Structure 1
């Protein structure tokens, strides 16, 4: 049953979410179409660039993403508290930058900013929107759809009507969702090693680590603002790599000692960790987290039951 988005995503409170947008009819509109043979792979870079551009303007941090041939995964954290520190002019400049008109340039945007600077109600509305996940996804999906439709000389939907959204209720849920997203190309057999995948956040983290030669900094968003998680970049890269070795049958390997330390720190056994990563989409629906967090979320939604509670109970003894 579909429920209003605000039950899952509170626009006035920070939260972390796993988001999936699928192309209409799950058609390969961002890859090589197996039916017609037409190749739309160039759209993946366009989507990736748009995600990064929006993250610089919104109070939303992007922790992981994977742009696939017929869908896009994101792990994002909304931070509405950050917008309170922005000046009215900053809010207007950010909003008009993401909602550019066809003829807009830097000078015309500045004119729009000055013309709206005295409208406190409008500024307040834009301030709320700049930390709103639905507005972020709207600007992402609409711009890609308009460009693709113009390219194809057609009209109509490019994406399915609603994006799927799962609330991530604890660090274990966030890390497992990020790992699930970063391993998407491996699972789809597009690549055999996660660092070789294109248009995936893991590739950017690996490239960044190669430049710095060390990856001991706390794990931060790939793009946009946000708080850090309780692991380092190096630990996360190790976590994804070792999980991928266990999930991918053609790439066997032993678990490094770094993996158990991370997994135990977030309250799961190695076996439970793998089950949670694999069950990100299939075993949960509206939220992912430990049993207690899921029970609390169900009460918040005024539901007696939430998909994933029984699975989370099984993980405690796995």
Structure 2
């Protein structure tokens, strides 16, 4: 039975989520098909993802725009949203919508009554919640792209399937496996040979920035529109992904070589530090990072973490326990 989205996306269980949205009938509406090229639409989606990441309190950890679908790994940054002033919330909302008469008057510095201020505060709370909502984030990607594509094709109707698919990433192992799965999608689909040549992916964006940075592991040496790698967990850990960027890129390169047919079976003797630190078995890692979307369902994490979250969310049973053992 399908569970409501509000029960699948709950920040009290995890702030990390993997979302996928597919074109109707999985048609090639963003790639090349029947002599026509729709490649530029992949650029539309990438630009929209990165634009909204600057407006929303949602950090993009990884993304990949394919021919008929796209992936995005998100972090719900509730702390960032809570720190916004009322004026900042209004300005961010106005960058997407017109707002209302009260909000426009407020930004112009006009005096408003106490009753009007109470009404505006209710709007601000709703807008703050929406700017922290993955559902609104995905909606504003998909609606914009659908309108642009339909206008280009001079037609009407659905562009995307009804609902985007989401998976909750409950621990570091699930997060690392999912990010690698997303960043390596073009390689698995034979659309690129290396991560740095994978167009419309977070991997290419991160690698290009790292190649120019003096200290690639420092947040200042990473793309500002992606969630930064903060390094290995430690005391007074800064906000960011709990890995080093260089470790992740090494892991990505290693995984990419293994899943290529001409490299299958040639596992390096020295594994990437991230594999060792997370105590992930290489065979299990390869399985998870190549079958992530098809094998794992709504909740993804190690067995113990999965059981805890299911109990918190009121599940009568814990779905996906067999697959969760691969991340234990």
Provide TM-score, normalisation by structure 2.
Answer: 0.86
Report the Cα distance in structure 2 between the residues aligned to 1:167 and 1:197, rounded to whole angstroms: 25
CA deviations 1:141-167 (Å, max 9, x no partner) are 101111111111111111111000000
Check the 8 A contact 1:59/1:225 in 2, yes or no.
no
1:113 offset after TM fit, Å? 4.1
- 1:298 pairs, out of 299, 305, 310, with 310
In 2, distance between residues paired with 1:216 and 1:123?
Answer: 36
Deviation at 1:267, TM superposition (A): 2.9
Kindly indicate whether the alpha-carbon contact (under 8 Å) linking 2:31 and 2:37 is maintained by their aligned counterparts in 1: yes
> 1:30·1:70 contact (CA, 8 Å) conserved in 2?
yes
2:20 corresponding residue in structure 1:
20
Query: In 1, Cα distance between the equivalents of 2:13 and 2:67?
Result: 33
Following superposition, the deviation at residue 57 of structure 1 comes to 0.7
Answer yes or no: is 1:75 the counterpart of 2:55.
no
> What secondary structure sits across from 1:262 in the alignment?
helix
- Measured in 2, the distance between the counterparts of 1:314 and 1:125 equals 40
Q: 1:257 aligns with which of 245, 250, 270?
A: 270
Aligned partner of residue 141 in structure 2, secondary structure: helix
Deviations 1:270-301 (A, max 9, x none): 22211221231122110111011111222233
Q: Partner residue of 1:273?
A: 285
Deviates more, 1:229-238 or 1:175-184: 229-238
Distance 1:99 1:63, change over 3 A: same
Structure 1, unaligned runs of 5 or more = 102-108
**Which residue does the alignment assign to 2:225?**
223
Cα displacement (A) at 1:313: 2.1
How far apart in 1 are the matches of 2:167 and 2:310? 13
Alignment RMSD (CA, Å): 2.4
Separation in structure 2 between the aligned mates of residue 270 and residue 309 of structure 1, nearest angstrom: 20
1:62/1:74 contact within 8 Å kept: yes
Query: Is the 8 Å Cα contact of residues 55 and 92 (structure 2) preserved in structure 1?
Result: yes
* More moved, 111-120 vs 163-172: 111-120
Larger mean CA deviation between 198-207 and 242-251 belongs to 242-251
- Residue 132 of structure 2 corresponds to 131
Query: 2: distance between equivalents of 1:13 and 1:57?
Result: 24
- Tell me how far apart the structure 2 counterparts of residues 54 and 155 of structure 1 sit (CA, whole Å): 25
After superposing the two structures, state which structure 1 stretch, 148-157 or 112-121, moved more.
112-121
Moved more, 216-225 or 83-92: 216-225
Contact 1:168 1:174 in 2 (8 A): yes
Assess, with a 3 A threshold, how the Cα gap between structure 1 residues 306 and 277 changes in structure 2: closer, same or farther. Answer: farther
**TM alignment of 1:26-175, pairs within 5 A:** 26-33=26-33, 36-99=34-97, 113-114=107-108, 118=117, 119-175=120-176
TM-score for both structures, normalised by structure 1? 0.88
Partners in 1 of 2:137 and 2:179 — Cα distance? Answer: 19
For residue 314 of structure 1, report the CA deviation from its aligned partner: 4.8
- Three-state SS of the structure 2 residue aligned to 1:99 is coil
